[in-house]
Amino acid sequence: MACRPLLRAVALLLLCTALSSCTSLFLHPDHQAYFPGHGPGTPAEDVWIATPEGPRLHALFLPATTTPRATLLFLHGNAENLSSHVHAVTWLPAQGYNVLALDYRGYGRSEGRASVDRVHEDARLALRWLLARDGEDPLIVYGQSLGASVALNLVARSDAPTRQRIRAVIADSGFARYRGIAREKLDQSWLTWPLQWPLSLLISDAWSPLAVVDRISPIPLLLIHGERDAVVPPHHSEALYQRAGEPKTLWRIPGGRHIDAIRRDDVRARLLDFLAQASSRACAAPPP
């Protein structure tokens, strides 16, 4: 029993060290091949994207199997890698959409080490690759969980020429603030609950989606969130919706859990309608 206070102090010290870098709390990269022998079920091309520091990013390009309507940049969540996450978008090429699905540094076959700053930089590099590849094709940025929050930052911080190409941004199960979601996770453990506020202050909010979401307008924004999401509670999307400018839409999915909405046929049908409208709309005017 006498060892318990010491063990608790050591655990808190280790946790503080981890939180100071943010990586262990927000990012869980691995190189495991999930669903071995089970391919995407649609043609897929390996893409390698250079980073200024040297490591290469791996992505999969899924070409539309019919006349392309638009190209989606898909940004996945904080765990596993493309070998599992790509299956969220493999149905889109048959509907006329190209997809570039990215693995951040340290994930899957991508080289280098992951960090929060690098995840955002990697998304920017992938978007730049698409801008150079696809001429004037309309682009849509689609992110899930961590990728949703990255997508919001990516579009909000894009320059005017890039914004002219982006027809919509879709954020599925995203969080509003890094510091806010960190505090909520710390609140869930008896070990960290008493110190949730001071420990959460160690997390940088430099990439807070809530701080920039109003800059996405007039590009259409679609927020998707399951009402029973226990990983990222739905109040995060509600806060983003309240702060965002028009045009904006929030889909609350009854009974929905974390990033599971896209598995439902009815949600896929609604998403196809949204994509068709976004793909055919005129370019958004740059913000004043």
Please choose, from the candidates 147, 204, 199, 215, the residue with its C-alpha nearest in 3D space to the C-alpha of residue 175. Answer: 147
pLDDT in the model for residue 14: 43
Query: Residue ranges per domain, the chain?
Result: 25-280
Structure tokens at 115: 């960090």
Whether pLDDT at 236 is above 60 = yes
3-state helix, strand, coil in the chain (%, to 5): 40, 20, 40
* Positions of E strands within the chain: 28-29, 45-50, 56-62, 70-75, 79-80, 97-102, 139-144, 166-172, 221-226, 248-253
pLDDT in the model for residue 119: 97
Say which CATH superfamily domain 25-280 falls into: Alpha/Beta hydrolase fold, catalytic domain (3.40.50.1820)
Query: Mind listing the pLDDT tens digit for each residue in 205-226?
Result: 889 999 999 999 999 999 999 9
Integer Cα distance of 116 and 122 in angstroms? 10
> Which percentage of the chain shows pLDDT scores above 90?
73
Lowest mean pLDDT among 143-157, 187-201, 236-250: 187-201
Query: Mind listing the pLDDT tens digit for each residue in 66-85?
Result: 999 999 999 999 999 999 99
Give the amino acid at 140. Answer: I
CA distances from 54 to 8, 41, 50, 82, 183 (A): 40, 32, 7, 21, 34
Does this model's pTM top 0.95? My answer is: no
Question: Do the beta carbons of residue 103 and residue 82 sit within 8 Å?
Answer: yes
- CA gyration radius for the chain? 19
